[in-house]
Amino acid sequence: MTMDRIDKIIDKYLDEEGVLIQLLLEIQRDFNWIPKEAIKRINERLKIPVSQIYRVASFYTGLSLKPIGRHLVRVCAGTACYVRGGPRVLDSVERILEVKSGETTDDLKFTLETVNCLGCCALGPVIEIDGQYHGKLTPASVEKLLSGYD
């Protein structure tokens, strides 16, 4: 089953050069992470060395070698959010979820990440949860926001 899904994605990138990052991004989107099987399979079918795939997958923040939670919480750590109190919002999220940035809660409910900039600087501090943006947050309002997810 997993292999089928991986193969289907690889099929789209067979005859092109320089596709590795795009291919991994698609696997990431589909699986929410890059499973070991995928790395092996890409190596077998595209003849790209495992070391190279691993290097790319570990270099970029958009690719994850660990499974991530049902809800992806991305706290903007950009400059505009920073000067408007972003670090305190991040502190609160870390406290509420009991994980640090880059970690996943034990129940696989939330993964917390920081991101360099979401480009909504007018609304800082900003958090993106599952693709939805939430702006002008405070340590107090973020608690309410997170409690709305299950």
Partner 1 sequence: MKRLRSPSDLEQFRKDILNKKDPERPAIAICVSTGCEALGVKNVLKSFQEEIEKQNLQGKIDIKETGCLGFCEKGPRIVIYPEEVYYFKVKVADVSEIVSKTLIGKEVIEKLLYTDPTTGKTARRLSEVPFYKYQNRLLLDDNAKVNPKKIEDYIGLGGYSALAKAFFQMTPDQVLDEVKKSKLRGRGGGGFPTGRKWESTRDAVGEPKYVIVNCDEGDPGAFMNRALMEGNPHSILEGLIIGAYAIGASEGFIYVRQEYPLAVENMQLAIDQAEEYGLLGKDILGSGFDFIVKIHKGAGAFVSGESSALMTALEGKVGEPRPKYVHTSEKGVWDKPSTLNNVETWANIPLIINKGAKWFESIGTEGSKGTKIFALAGKVNNTGLVEVPMGMTLRDIIYKIGGGIQKGKKFKGVQTGGPSGGVIPEQYLDSPVDFDELTKLGSIMGSGGMIVMDEDTCMVDMARYFVNFLCDESCGKCVPCREGLKQARKILKRIVAGKGEEEDVSKLQEIAEVTSIASLCALGQTAANPMLTTLRYFNDEYEAHIKEKKCPALVCKELVSYYIDPAKCRACTLCFRNCPVDAIEGERNKIHIIDQEKCTKCGTCFEVCPPAFRAVDRISGEPVPAPVPEEQRFLKREKKGNKGKGAVD
What is the binding site for partner 1 (CB under 8 A)? 17-22, 24-25, 52, 55-56, 59-63, 76-80, 82-85, 88, 91-92, 95, 115-124, 126, 131, 133-135, 138-140, 143
Smallest gap, in angstroms, from Cβ of residue 78 to partner 1? 3
Closest CB to partner 1 among residues 70, 134: 134
Smallest gap, in angstroms, from Cβ of residue 57 to partner 1? 9
Smallest gap, in angstroms, from Cβ of residue 86 to partner 1? 10
Closest CB to partner 1 among residues 105, 141: 141
Smallest gap, in angstroms, from Cβ of residue 1 to partner 1? 26
- The amino acid present at 9, given as its one-letter code, is I
Residue 45 contacts residue 10 (beta carbons within 8 Å): yes
DSSP H helices in 1-122: 2-11, 20-31, 36-46, 50-59, 79-83, 86-97
Dihedral class, residue 90 (left if φ above 0, else alpha if ψ from -120 to 50, else beta): alpha
- Cα separation, 3 vs 142, in Å, equals 39
Residue 77 contacts residue 86 (beta carbons within 8 Å): yes
Closest CB to partner 1 among residues 6, 137: 137
Closest CB to partner 1 among residues 69, 78: 78
Closest CB to partner 1 among residues 103, 143: 143
Helix axes 20-31, 36-46, angle to 10 degrees: 150
